[in-house]
Amino acid sequence: MAMNKNTVLAWATWIMIVVGLALIALGAFRYHESAGWGFASVGIGFLANAWVFNALKGRV
């Protein structure tokens, strides 16, 4: 399987979506104090970066 730049960005997008959702879930279900807000905000940041990576596919 040849990995060109679009498949690398696609894999990075999926990995960042999974990590972002996992961090949001940790913040929502595991940590109920102020650390939960930090986990959730970092998870939202991961989802934003995944959105940017998805937008870059085909343009880089």
Record the pTM.
Answer: 0.84
Give domain limits for the chain. Answer: 5-56
Give me the residue label for tokens 């989802």: 47
More confident residue, 57 or 45: 45
**What number is the average pLDDT over the span 12-39?**
92
Residue 20 has pLDDT above 90, yes or no: yes
User: How many Cα atoms occupy the beta-carbon half-sphere of 58 within 13 Å?
Assistant: 2
Over residues 1-14, the pLDDT tens digits come to 788 888 888 899 99
CA nearest 14: which of 44, 49, 58? 49
Q: In the chain, what are the helix, strand and coil shares in percent, each to the nearest 5?
A: 80, 0, 20
Residue 4 is given by DSSP the state: -
